[in-house]
Structures are given as structure tokens and as C-alpha cells.
A and B are shown apart, each in its own frame.
Chain A
Amino acid sequence: DGGITQSPKYLFRKEGQNVTLSCEQNLNHDAMYWYRQDPGQGLRLIYYSQIVNDFQKGDIAEGYSVSREKKESFPLTVTSAQKNPTAFYLCASSTSEFDTQYFGPGTRLTVL
């Protein structure tokens, strides 16, 4: 079954900790994305990658970092510099940056 997986489903972070959210896809898509979803707001783009070993900042990249070492994987690290990280994080992928994006199931991050 082709699709996008995200892990963990729930994640708790203490103040000052860095945490990494996993995103894997087996759709053979070139482009991958990370979004943040907060209540009452539209999805906001954190980072995106059009191709392996290349990625660009989105609208709210401060306090986050990513890597794209493999086509299938696009992990997101939420650093201690992100002051308000509690949110629902969504990973997406598409054949190219101009095509339909398909989403994973999401990771809910809570700061304790």
C-alpha cells in the first residue's frame, strides 16, 4: 500500500528539548512538505523540499530544521528556539511542487 507515514502520533516535549518528527513516503514523490496546523488557522508551511539534498524555508521556518538525505524521508526537528511548538504537524508529498499534495496522518506535539 502506497502512502505517507508519520511517527510518532503523539509527542511530548519538555522545555529546552529538541525533538524530531518522522515522515516517510513510498509514493516515489519528489516533493515533500511540512505544515503546522493550529486551531482556527489555515495550514502554514514550515519547510519544503523539491528534491533530495535540497530544501527551502516556508513561511514559519524559525525554530525548525529539516534534512532530505533520501527521497523517501523528510524528518523535521523542532528545536528549543521554537517558542510555541504545541501544534498538529502534517507532512505531505507530491509528484512535483505543482501537483496535488497528499498528506500523512499527522503528529500532535505538546510542550509540557
Chain B
Amino acid sequence: EDQVTQSPEALRLQEGESSSLNCSYTVSGLRGLFWYRQDPGKGPEFLFTLYSAGEEKEKERLKATLTKKESFLHITAPKPEDSATYLCAVLPEGAGTYKYIFGTGTRLKVLA
């Protein structure tokens, strides 16, 4: 069964304390992996799409990487405004496959 697991469920960091969020997935084939940021009471905001193992993408303090089994979202020198829930989703390969599979998210709190 296709599955996405995010860890940790929650993470508290001091401002400037770098860390990584993990998204592990089990699918027969990967069409794409997506990272989103979600603030409380709002819709998810798109961050990155990764398509193949070894691919990396960066945006400000965030860097996403992809292997054949997992993706990491690295946060370098975070600031309080980076506090949010980070969601990971995968789109499996296969005929007629259209559904994203979402993880339950990592709630990040950055303390000043």
C-alpha cells in the first residue's frame, strides 16, 4: 500500500538552530514529491516539487532533497516566521494514478 510518513510530528527550535524534517514514502514508482507550508487556519502554500532521486531545490532558508525512499526539508538558521506545519505529498506512478498521498505533517515552532 502506498504510504507517506512524516517525522517528527512536532519540532521546537531556537532561532538560528538548523534542523531537518523527514518525509519517507513507500510507492511502487514516484511521479513527484511535493512540499507545502501551512499556517493555522489557512490553505497549504506550495514550496517545492522534486521528481527524481538526487534532486535538490532551495528557497531562502529552506532546502529540499530527495532519495529513492525519503525526502528531507532542511531549515537553515530558522526564524520565528518559519513556524508552521510542513506537509509532504507524493504522486505515485501508474496508469490512472492521479491522487496525491499526503503525510500528516510536521508542526514546527521556532522560538525567538
Chain A interface (Cβ within 8 Å of chain B)?
Answer: 4, 6, 40-45, 48, 50, 58-59, 88, 90, 97-98, 100-106, 108
A104 and B98 contact, Cβ closer than 8 Å, known pairs A42-B103, A98-B31:
no
Closest-by-CB residue of A relative to B100 is A101
- Which of B14-22, B36-44, B57-65, B68-76 participates in binding chain A? B36-44
Most B Cβ at <10 Å: residue of A42, A103, A105, A106 = A42
A40's nearest neighbour on chain B, judged by CB, is B104
B104: A residues at CB distance < 8 A = 40-42
Whether the Cβ atoms of B44 and A103 lie closer than 8 Å is yes
Chain B residues within 8 Å of chain A by Cβ, number: 23
| B44-A100 in contact (CB<8A) | no
* Residues A104 and B103 in contact, CB atoms below 8 Å apart: no
9 A–B contacts, CB within 8 A, in A order: A43-B44, A48-B99, A58-B99, A59-B99, A88-B41, A100-B46, A103-B44, A106-B42, A108-B41
With a cutoff of 8 Å between Cβ atoms, the chain A residues found around residue B45 in the complex are 103
> Closest CB-CB distance, B82 to chain A, in whole Å?
19
CB distance from A61 to the nearest CB of B (A): 13
Give CA–CA (A58, B101) in the complex, Å: 12
User: Which residue of chain A has its CB nearest to the CB of B44?
Assistant: A103
Other than the given A41-B104, A98-B32, A103-B43, 6 more pairs (CB < 8 A) read A42-B104, A43-B87, A45-B99, A45-B100, A101-B46, A103-B44
Q: Which residues of A contact B101 (CB under 8 A)?
A: 42
- Cα(A59)–Cα(B45), bound, Å: 23
Closest 5 CB pairs of A and B: A42-B102, A103-B43, A97-B98, A43-B102, A103-B44
A6 CB, min distance to chain B CBs, angstroms: 8
User: Chain B nearest CB: distance from A31 CB in Å?
Assistant: 8
Q: Is B4 an interface residue (CB 8 A)?
A: yes
Residues of A near B89 (CB, < 8 A) are: 43
Are B44 and A90 in contact (CB-based, < 8 A)? Answer: yes
Cβ of B91 within 8 Å of any chain A Cβ, yes or no, is: yes
Tell me the complex Cα distance, A90–B87, Å: 14
